Amino acid sequence: MPSPIRKRLETRLGIVPHLILMATILAAPWWLFGLGRLPGWIAPDSAISTYVHQNLAYRLHSDDFAYIGASRNWERTVDNLFVPHNTHICPSWRLLSYVVVRTAGDLVHLPDLMKQVSYLGIVLVMLGTGHFVAYESKSLALAFAATILVGVTSIQRLSTIWYSAGQTLWAGVFILGALILAQEAMHRRWNWLWPGVFVSCWLAGGFWTIGHAAGPVTAIYVIAASRGSRRLFALIPAAAMISAVAIALSFGGKEIDASTSFHGRSTREAFDPVQGLSHTCHSIIETMVLANLGIDARTTDIQAVTLTLLLFAIWCAWHIGKKKPVTTLEWVGGALCISAYWVEWSFRGYFSWNSLKGVVYWYDSIPQIGWALFVSGWAMAAFMPGAQLADPRSWPNRMKRKQAMALIGFTLTMLVLHQSEVDRQLIESIPPLTAWEVENNSFPIPELRRLRAVYIWDERAKRMTRHIARFQNAESIARKAGWSVADLSATFGRVRIPGIPKAYDGVYLMNLPLTSDRPADASAVRRALGSLLEIEPEARPPWLSTAPDPWPPKGWEDTQ
């Protein structure tokens, strides 16, 4: 007879424990990326809680300024709907940005809302991945594991904490949406869902260029999951991708300045499919395999290609040796991961891998979704041989207590494996140690360097908040006076704000008319707004109060 303990472990969980476990998993990236604190009654302030709670406030960064400025009102949003941004024609993203800006109401509340929307992206990706895996494998345990793999990882950090990098996650949401709708249409023969598949593919490409992968990847899923004439439904997502690309290029293609986005090169000069394939091999080995284990490694081109071919050979040999058919999850996941990486890196083929690694972290977000699906499919083939023969309309099996305990252990393991990489990215995002700090060994251990980074991040966020509040006040005064963006530009030239790149002008953050019928009196504009638009010098950290080093270090100024 089984022991009482074993019997309890074999007991299946109810609905409420499933929901609690999922909520815990969805909150794990919030903890890992330091986006908030636990309530004081759970984790009171102490030396330990100060370390584990980064509680990073949101700071406007880089492309945020462009998207906010283009979305402050409906007229600007429509005018910029198909205007390329770094070669990306992203009407879906511009519409979402308009909703976010209008919901915030003013600039002061916008950063907090952008932080929430950014996190919502990773939550929806995790839920979508879990849902798709659950109904393919008929296993909630495997679905929860896929949810953890796709989201509780440092690979998704920048796309989660930076609104503009979250374009990739939102594109991933609608890629998964297209797959889920196609899944339901195929399994339940609900043909009325196919228009939804078409629209979801459209929207995915409108968030980020790689989102157009929704079309071919969903088509591959339909072909792999169906037989006979129903495979013709694959034409629907394929047609959605073709039409979405055609419409985007017809409205905005002529405005793409490839020479700017590709560092002085034309699109033809920048595109290098062979180098893109080499970079894809680097990404699969260094990011999808090793970085998902918390290992930061670099490979040579020969090593990357050889290891990728070896991984492919092992996968093929396993399926042939075990006589296991390739699952739909493997087809879809592999296609999404490889196609996304190959397209991304082919258009950056003029760069060496060493100059790209660790720079464009958001390029990994959509491939990570594909990788989670691929690994789940391989696990499904290995441990659930009857899953593909199950009734496609049946509900996924609830997990057992022992599986829930294993998932909790998996979540904790991912947190431990990825915390050091999250810390490294944070430390590298703020000014490095000055010569004085190095000479005096001020921060000798990683924990102290992390606290230094949290302090500097927080001080810069507070400085930005003060500037945004003054900007909001200036906007109100200018609107009442009937002044336009052109009036402020004529008076002050380019208006700066902390964190803004040289390519952007802070005055466009204001919800004002772009031009006015009668130019404003420059002296009156300067008297009313001059003090509100002045740049507040960045304060020196207290430990550098007597140090001779300039602050911030050259090249790390928070205002350009």
Rg (CA), the chain: 25
Calpha distance 255→87 (Å, rounded): 9
452, pLDDT greater than 80: yes
pLDDT digits (tens, 9 = 90+) for 265-317: 666 667 788 998 999 999 999 999 999 998 888 999 999 999 999 999 999 99
* Dist CA 418 CA 294 (whole Å): 5
Choose among 16, 98, 13: nearest CA to 398: 13
This prediction has a pTM of 0.92
Strand residues in 10-105 grouped as ranges (E): none
Cα gap 324→382, rounded to integer Å: 8
What does the alpha-carbon distance between residue 204 and residue 168 come to, in Å, rounded to a whole number? 9
Has residue 2 got a pLDDT over 80? no
Nearest to 160 by CA among 58, 75, 39, 76: 58
Please report how the helices 328-346 and 365-383 are oriented relative to each other, as an axis angle in degrees rounded to 10. 160
Distance CA 136, CA 124 (A): 18
| pLDDT-based confidence at residue 262 (cuts at 50, 70, 90) | low
Residue 358 and residue 324 in contact, taking contact as beta carbons nearer than 8 Å: no
Q: How confident is the model at residue 238 (pLDDT cuts 50, 70, 90)?
A: very high
pLDDT at 554: 87
Q: Give which of 105, 8, 177, 187 is closest to 472, Cα–Cα.
A: 105
**Which of these ranges, 209-213, 260-264, 454-458, has the smallest mean pLDDT?**
260-264
Q: What is the pLDDT of residue 39?
A: 57
| Predicted pLDDT of residue 149 | 96
Higher pLDDT, 148 or 383: 148
Average pLDDT, integer, range 178-190: 91
| DSSP summary character for residue 515 | -
Cβ contact 306:293 at 8 Å: no
Which pLDDT does position 53 carry in this prediction? Answer: 55
- Spatial distance between the Cα atoms of 293 and 316, rounded to a whole number of angstroms: 23
Model confidence pLDDT, tens digit, residues 91-117 = 999 999 999 999 998 899 999 999 999
How high does pLDDT run on average in the chain?
Answer: 88
Confidence of residue 187 (pLDDT cuts 50, 70, 90): confident
Tokens of 428: 């590298």
pLDDT tens-digit profile of 408-432? 999 999 999 999 899 999 999 899 9
Using an 8 Å Cβ cutoff, are 261 and 86 in contact? Answer: yes
- How is the chain split into domains, by residue range? 15-401, 436-544
Cβ atoms of residues 498 and 463 within 8 Å: yes
Cα three-residue angle 151-34-419, rounded to 5 degrees:
65
The number of C-alpha atoms within 13 Å of 292 and in the hemisphere containing its C-beta is: 20
Q: What angle do CA 330, 332, 336 make, to 5 degrees?
A: 115
